[in-house]
């Protein structure tokens, strides 16, 4: 009899276990007092039949307005209204079928304090952005180098395509270093969970929007980094990806609806062409391939016209700002997103966080092309509300040819002048982010063929031109590398790993040239912190003359004269040739050396001077 009873109890326990359901809710929590108070929950069960269950909420101030059945019976979309009277607490959401109920606790939190002053502050031309890859910057916690159960178990610093072990603790450990460069803002490649089988070092193939990758330290490490930045008066930019996810994302492995992703009869990649989106003579077919084609086979393309997808992405953006204290967004692969969706998403962020700013990766060729994707002065039927762009034009058609081409009517530094002259198409060109290199392209030191003086000129331009300067990690110590075919633009930062022979944080082992470039950034970056002209002043540029390019940054309090000599010979500079900006000034003080050059001076070939004018 005891044996029969035992078997019955064992069978009963087994029956309950196999019929139990695990339910996940996204967003994983929300907050009281949000403007976005009508939240659409994406609910996922680990077995079919969720759409047959009755859903209820009994919590003061929180109610269900609609339950949506999706194509996949493992999912539901639940519209929840949060009243202004609702208090923080755990909202019990009940799922009932056949007399059996599963209760899931959904946290409703008090809001983060300090919106617009301590977080969600936005990024502007007063800032100086440092951009790094967490896996390649510094390993502060070796215990998270590998995480059991994750698909990518690689750890080999000798391979550019495998993980190296850098993490958020490593970044926290070196915030003093960033500040010594004059940096005010940190931008990193994505930190969300990237549980793909390989090539996970870059982070752009999300597999769960609501988890921070544990190999970086997880959500607690991300919060600690955010807090550490804000305690120093610094800012945090998050890298957002709306266009695609990784092929191991839970919504791709088990799709909520048939049209969650753009589907094609056979694999169709984007053409990477932006022109069909604004071409007055373009075809709809070409435009569709641009936006709906997949970026790569491992990154399924999200369908922004699906309202559930749109809500999922918008709410995730709001969630990240509130949960982690994000100050601004860099938006990946912006041109491949649906513009109507992006306008809606950008507006949701600024409605909730008025000081929030966003800039997009618009890797296009041409000022008109780039301006189409941001707030502009163009008379066109469809307008973007994106505030700024990663400024590929001042890179490709500006500083690169300025330093690498001989001067000519349309060549060399004339291209830089001409590109900036077209700023009239932007609503506010100072919101564009200017840069010399990044994780996807050949490093600047390689682009200028290892010329240290050209590297310095590029950096001096970066920190004095209009816009928001962004420095890619390692540019300050002459890191080199081609983007293709070897991908050596993502090497480890010297000193970020125990046992490194060279340490850029302390200066140990740096060559004289490496140290001189690092010192240049420290001096000019620190100077920029208190220079009203460089941070928010106006720009006036003069036509380049035989390779000599002179421009000014100025306001009512300060005038900075920038002199770039791209020619092969020394040049004489006289205030009289620039009287609109030099009138009343009698001296020019070199910001880097503190030497007074007077109102007439000589600048050596292949050199740049940054001068503060005085009377």
Residues designated catalytic: 332, 361
Give the up-direction half-sphere exposure of residue 29: CA atoms within 13 A in the CB hemisphere. Answer: 17
Q: What's the sign of the alpha-carbon dihedral 474, 214, 187, 404?
A: positive
Beta bridge partners of 399: none
Going edge to edge, which strands form the sheet with 357-360? Answer: 388-389, 357-360, 328-331, 235-240, 185-188, 129-132, 468-472, 433-435
CB 44 within 8 A of CB 104: no
Q: Where are the beta strands (DSSP E) in 420-535?
A: 433-435, 468-472
CA distances from 55 to 24, 51, 64, 101, 102 (A): 14, 9, 9, 9, 10
CB atoms under 10 Å from CB of 34, counted, come to 14
CB 377 within 8 A of CB 425: yes
Q: Which long-range contacts (CB under 8 A, 24 or more apart) does 264-268 make?
A: 264/292, 264/293, 267/294, 267/297, 268/292, 268/293, 268/294
Q: How far does CA 49 lie from the centroid of its chain?
A: 39
Separation of alpha carbons 446 and 442, rounded Å: 7
Q: What residues contact 457, with CB distance under 8 A and at least 6 apart?
A: 403, 564, 566, 606, 607, 608
Tokens of 517: 């470039």
Separation of alpha carbons 94 and 100, rounded Å: 10
CB atoms under 10 Å from CB of 267, counted, come to 8
| Angle in degrees, 0-180, between the axes of helices 452-462 and 512-529, rounded to the nearest 10 | 10
CB 474 within 8 A of CB 514: no
Q: What residues contact 577, with CB distance under 8 A and at least 6 apart?
A: 542, 550
Separation of alpha carbons 271 and 288, rounded Å: 10
Nearest to 234 by CA among 162, 171, 327, 302: 327
Residue with tokens 């204290």: 325
Q: How far does CA 488 lie from the centroid of its chain?
A: 21
């Amino acid at each position: 009899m005891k044996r029969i009873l035992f078997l019955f109890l064992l069978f009963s326990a087994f029956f309950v276990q196999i019929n139990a359901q695990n339910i996940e809710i996204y967003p994983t929590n929300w907050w009281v007092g949000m403007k976005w108070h009508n939240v659409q929950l994406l609910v996922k069960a680990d077995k079919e039949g969720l759409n047959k269950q009755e859903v209820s909420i009994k919590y003061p101030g929180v109610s269900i307005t609609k339950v949506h059945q999706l194509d996949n019976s493992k999912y539901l979309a639940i519209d929840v209204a949060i009243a202004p009277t609702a208090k923080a607490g755990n909202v019990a959401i009940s799922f009932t079928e056949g007399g059996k109920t599963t209760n899931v606790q959904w946290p409703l939190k008090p809001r983060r304090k300090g919106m617009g002053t301590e977080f969600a502050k936005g990024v502007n031309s007063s800032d100086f952005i440092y951009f790094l890859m967490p896996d390649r910057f510094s390993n502060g916690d070796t215990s998270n180098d590998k995480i059991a159960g994750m698909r990518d178990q690689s750890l080999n610093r000798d391979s550019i395509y495998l993980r190296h072990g850098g993490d958020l603790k490593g970044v926290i450990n070196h915030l003093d270093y960033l500040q010594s460069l004059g940096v005010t803002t940190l931008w990193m490649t994505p930190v969300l969970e990237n549980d793909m089988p390989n090539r996970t070092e870059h982070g752009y193939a999300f597999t769960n929007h609501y988890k921070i990758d544990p190999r970086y330290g997880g959500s607690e490490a991300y919060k600690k980094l955010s807090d550490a930045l804000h305690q120093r008066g610094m800012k945090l930019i998050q890298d957002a990806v709306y266009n695609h996810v990784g092929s191991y994302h839970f919504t791709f492995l088990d799709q909520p609806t048939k049209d969650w992703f753009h589907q094609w009869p056979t694999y169709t990649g984007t053409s990477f062409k932006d022109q069909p989106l604004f071409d007055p003579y373009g075809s709809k077919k070409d435009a569709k391939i641009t936006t709906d084609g997949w970026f790569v086979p491992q990154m399924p393309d999200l369908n922004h016209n699906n309202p559930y997808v749109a809500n999922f992405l918008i709410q995730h953006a709001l969630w990240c700002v509130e949960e982690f204290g994000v100050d601004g967004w860099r938006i990946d692969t912006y041109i491949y997103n649906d513009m109507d969706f992006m306008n809606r998403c950008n507006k949701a962020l600024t409605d909730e966080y008025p000081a929030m700013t966003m800039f997009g990766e618009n890797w296009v060729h041409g000022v008109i092309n780039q301006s189409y994707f941001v707030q502009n002065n163009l008379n066109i039927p469809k307008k973007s509300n994106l505030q700024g762009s990663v400024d590929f034009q001042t890179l490709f058609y500006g500083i690169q040819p300025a330093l690498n081409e001989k001067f000519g009517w349309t060549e060399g530094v004339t291209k830089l002048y001409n590109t900036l002259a077209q700023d009239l198409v932007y609503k506010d060109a100072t919101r564009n982010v200017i840069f010399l290199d990044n994780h996807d392209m050949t490093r600047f030191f390689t682009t200028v063929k290892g010329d240290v003086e050209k590297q310095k000129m590029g950096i001096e331009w970066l920190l004095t031109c209009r816009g928001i300067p962004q420095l890619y990690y390692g540019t300050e110590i002459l890191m080199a590398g081609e983007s293709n075919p070897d991908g050596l633009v993502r090497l480890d930062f010297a000193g970020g790993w125990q046992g490194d022979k060279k340490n850029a944080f302390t200066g140990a082992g740096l060559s004289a040239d490496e140290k001189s470039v690092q010192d240049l950034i420290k001096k000019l970056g620190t100077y920029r912190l208190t220079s009203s002209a460089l941070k928010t002043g106006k720009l006036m540029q003069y036509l380049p003359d035989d390779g000599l390019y002179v421009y000014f940054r100025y306001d009512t309090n300060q005038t900075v004269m920038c002199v770039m000599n791209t020619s092969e010979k020394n040049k004489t500079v006289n205030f009289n040739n620039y009287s609109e900006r030099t009138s009343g000034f009698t001296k020019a003080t070199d910001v880097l050396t503190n030497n007074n050059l007077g109102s007439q001076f000589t600048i050596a070939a292949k050199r740049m001077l940054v001068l503060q004018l005085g009377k």
